[in-house]
Structure formats: C-alpha cells, structure tokens
Structure 1
Amino acid sequence: MTTTTTYIAFLRAVNVGGRTVKMERLRALFGELGLERVGSYIQSGNVFFTAEDTDAAGRAALTARIEHHLAERLGFPVPVLLRTVDEVQAVLDAEPFAGVEVTPDVRLTVNFLSEPLPADFPIPFTSPKGDYEVIGADPGTAFVVVHLRNGKWVTTGSLFGKSYQGSVTSRFLHTTAKIAAAARKA
C-alpha cells in the first residue's frame, strides 16, 4: 500500500525582483507534475501538495524534479525547500523564539535551508550591524530575530555569509504557522 504525505514547497525568488508568478499558475505547474491536492498560501511562493511518502533520496529527487520543471516553464531558477507539514509543525511546536519579545522593530523569521549551516558558524550570532541575530538552527532551519533599521530588514541572501553555499528562504514565524494550517486543511 502506498502512503502519501502533505509537503510544503517554500519557493525562493518568486514574486520578488520582477519575477512575478500568479499562484494559480504555480498551482497548475505543480499539477502538471502529477502532484495532488495542490494549494497555495499568499503570493510569496508557498505551495503545498500531497505526494507519495518517500525517503531522503526520493525527496531530493522530487525537489530536483520540481525545480527543473519550474525553471523550464518560468524561464528562471526557483530553489525549492521542501518540507513535510509535520516537519514544519514540529519546528513551530519547538517554540524556537520562546522568550523573544516582538516589538514594532523586531520580526521573527524561520529560514528554511537547503543545506545545514557550516559547522563553524557560531550560534548564537549577532550581525556586525546588529540588524539580526541567529538564535538557533537545526540541519534544515535557522531561527533569526530581525531588528528593523530605518524600516528595512536584512535579506536572506546575506544572513550566513559567503561560506554558506546553500539556498535560503525566509518566512515570518506567524506566516509559517498560517502556511502549515492551510496545508493541513487541504
């Protein structure tokens, strides 16, 4: 008997920098791959779907298949950070930001990683400008407190320095919770 699971594809570089893709089109592109119960949450590249439950190698192959299809159809690369809804819920349940006070100048971000942070990356880490703090990480996720400076915040591309070669995409903590809830309902 084949079992299925609900996955969430956190897409990087969608609907930023002139790379606009309507969610309806993204859902259709995922459907073209034979993925089922495809849904999305807001316009920032969060797509969920059901597919056959698989091991790490199978998940890597599914990720590569999605990335290839999106690049082919959209004309630009779209890194995909694929997680199960249960994995995302486990991150939320761990309360990685417990004790951090949210103010108008503080944002909590869950940063999905394609590769673990380098072993020599210090945690906790505060940026030289004091605009963000990496307060924790696991192999697939880093937890970052962002301090707005002049109403702006640091982008994900520069969070971990040049030694980090993987892909990163950030979601606010409250948005991550809403994405997980939407995926569970689908």
Structure 2
Amino acid sequence: MSSRIHLLRAVNVGGATLPMAELRALAESLGAANVRTYIASGNLLCDPPGDPAEFDRALERAVEDRFGFFREVISRSRDELVAARAAHPFEVLEPKYSYVTFLTDAPAPENVAAARRFATGDDRWEVVGREMHIRYIGGAGRPQMKDASIGRALGVPGTARNLNSVDKLIELSR
C-alpha cells in the first residue's frame, strides 16, 4: 500500500453533509490503513488497499450508499500533489485566492479551447495536465470569471483546493 490523498468533490456544501469521522470509518471499512482527514471539505489521506482507482470508485459507491448522494473521488500521490503545486503558473498574490482544481482526467484540447471563450476579467486559469490552476484576483467568493461555466466546458469533473490546503495536504502526507 502506498499513501494517497483522496479529494471528494463538493462535500459539506449545498446539503451534501459528510462527517469526516464517518468518511474515515468508510475508508477503513474498505481496507484503507493510516486513515486521516484534513478539515471538513472532503480531504482524506490514507494507504488504500490495491489499485488506487478501484479504491476511489469503491469509496464513491460507499458514500452514495451510506449518504444518498454521489460525489467523485479524485486521488493523487504525494509526488503528484507536489508536482501540481510546483506547476502553478501564476504569481501567488494570496494563497487563499489561488487554487488547483484536481480533474478526473486531462480535458480534451477542443474543450480547453471552448472554455477559453469565457471572459475572465483579472482572474486567470490554465490547464496543466490533469489540473486546472486558478488565480482569483479578489477571491473565489467574488470571481470575475464564470468558473462554473469554464469547468463545464472542460468536460471533466474536478475538485478545487486553495494553495493553503494543497500545501497542508502535502505536509500531512509525509
């Protein structure tokens, strides 16, 4: 088993309540070891049994069975998180205003081109491999760009974490 960071999309927002203690218990019931969570936004660190992608799908099913809603689970190794953080292409004005959106797959080039049609104001985004990097000029709560529309145009689900959270997850995964 090797350690992974599992990121659940959109939990504890919009009525999709998932207590982190129950998420840890679900992961353990699926055979994961060294299970821990970071803040209440769906960040799970553990050593999954077997193939990480199979564990991600099993965790998705377990969350849906237990809580009645589906949420994608996107996992990365510590090295992949470090590489994604290092690839952030924008000047970091405030770490809480800069994000990495971890995507299920790299979007097709034509989808990236379609997403480029949306105005961004002073906000910026760029796809690097399986991640979309974002820098909001005034924070995610007041975006100048249509981030949800851009995400839909990319055609692959993802879940975003600000650089403070990415840095903490890297630290916790040592």
TM-score for the superposition, normalised by structure 2: 0.85
The answer for the alignment partner of 2:104 in structure 1 is: 114
Quick check: which one's strand share is greater?
1
CA RMSD, Structure 1 to Structure 2 (Å): 2.8
Flag structure 1 segments of 5+ consecutive residues without an equivalent.
none
Cα displacement (A) at 1:176: 0.5
Q: Does 1:130 align with 2:121?
A: yes
User: Where in structure 2 are the equivalents of 1:1-186 lying within 5 Å?
Assistant: 4-52=1-49, 58-92=51-85, 94-97=86-89, 100-102=91-93, 107-120=97-110, 121-122=112-113, 125=116, 127-130=118-121, 132-138=123-129, 140-148=130-138, 152-153=142-143, 157-162=148-153, 164-184=154-174
SS in 1 for 2:136: strand
Q: Deviations over 1:111-138 (max 9, x none)?
A: 0001212212149958414263213411
Cα displacement (A) at 1:97: 3.5
Alignment size in residue pairs? 172
Flag structure 2 segments of 5+ consecutive residues without an equivalent.
none
Cα displacement (A) at 1:174: 1.8
- Matched-pair identity in %: 27
SS in 1 for 2:109: coil
Q: Verify the 8 A CA contact 1:10 1:46 in the aligned structure 2.
A: yes
Cα displacement (A) at 1:151: 5.1
